Amino acid sequence: MSAAKRVVLSGIQPSGHLTLGNYLGAVKNWVDLQEEYDCYYTLVDLHTITARQEAGELRERCYKTLALLMACGLDPQRNVLFVQSHVPAHARLAWVLNCYTMVGELNRMTQFKDKSSKNADNINAGLYDYPVLMAADILLYDTAFVPVGEDQKQHLELARDVAIRFNNAHGRPVFTVPEPMIPQVGARIMGLQDPAAKMSKSDDNELNNVYLLDSPDVLERKFKRAVTDSGSEVRYSADKPGVANLMSILSATSGESFAAIEQRFAGAGYGRFKAAVAGAVIEKLKPVQQRYRDIRADEPGLRRVLKDGAGRASAHANRTLKRVHEALGFIPE
């Protein structure tokens, strides 16, 4: 990686199911970032086990997620792609940061409250301590910028606070204090059944999401059933959220402006409009799906990508961990 470039880091839950919203709203922008930044993308398998996992399924989801990211354009030669558990420094730094994080700060984390309410039978210490491990993920790489959504802003603020607290306690800039990265304005893709909420890969309603690996038949069925409104006019308007969402999808996948879409479907009705949206998405995803199949079929190649990524990530992370240990007074290894 280039020493002249600043670092961008993002952690990705290895769900194995990236949505069209993930792709158009985030991953396409990540591809552009590799031109200007040193980008680290980690599959956060340590975070994933705060909920119970089946071992074989978790392993497969990690491979699928990595293959999908590569199929979407993330080049493993120009980005560091790795699995969190392959870099021991993440867990080692997390313990140190635990000793610089206040219980009151963790008590204020809204995601812990939300997830606890949904997992009442498994409220474990890892779920509570999740933000500290996330801070370690970020601070290990001298990260300058972290692309964040609304649900992660609080965690980034904690990482910043802990970094500043540690630096002040030891009188030296051990950690780079990260800044949030406001992503380029990408398509904001909402659910097909609930256009008031963003499309989410964790949503249980299959009809609400468009997945990157959905077959053409499945895509046609999902768009045919997508929520519109009681009228029949194709018009971009806040009072027509379902139609507006479908127009956003069509615009993002075909390159057409909203005005051109409105003109093309004037008086056409929703049936023809929905079919056109489905067709545009199918064409957009066809090369991604083909690349995915080729990449996923080469599992030894995926393992080589992860081994190389872990080696490059560890080299950087271990330098940071060495600075931390020196500041703490630990005997050098």
| Cβ atoms 140, 317 nearer than 8 A | yes
Domain range summary for the chain, segments of one domain joined by +: 7-182+299-328, 206-292
Catalytic residue among 28, 64, 118, 198: 198
pTM: 0.90
Written as tens digits, the pLDDT of the chain (333 aa) is: 455 789 999 999 998 889 998 898 888 888 889 889 999 999 999 999 988 899 999 999 999 999 999 999 999 999 999 999 999 999 999 999 999 999 999 998 887 777 766 676 778 888 889 999 999 999 999 999 998 766 678 889 999 999 999 999 999 999 999 999 876 655 678 999 998 888 877 667 888 999 999 999 999 999 999 999 878 889 898 889 999 999 999 999 998 999 999 999 998 889 999 999 999 999 999 999 999 999 999 999 999 999 999 999 999 999 999 999 999 999 998
pLDDT for 206: 82
Tokens of 180: 């949030």
Residue from 5, 28, 201, 322 carrying the catalytic annotation: 201
Those residues whose C-beta lies under 8 Å from the C-beta of residue 80, and which sit 6 or more positions away, are 1, 38, 39, 40, 41, 309, 312, 313
Q: Which pLDDT score, from 0 to 100, does residue 1 have? A: 47
CATH architecture of 206-292: Orthogonal Bundle (1.10)
- The residue annotated as part of the active site, out of 28, 115, 224, 322, is 115
The residues facing 39 across adjacent strands are 8, 79
CATH number for the 7-182+299-328 domain, one of 3.30.460.80, 3.40.50.620, 3.40.980.10, 3.90.1170.50?
A: 3.40.50.620
Distance CA 303, CA 26 (A): 25
Is-catalytic flag, 274?
no
- Same fold across 7-182+299-328 and 206-292: no
Based on the residue annotation, tell me whether 240 is a catalytic residue of this protein: no
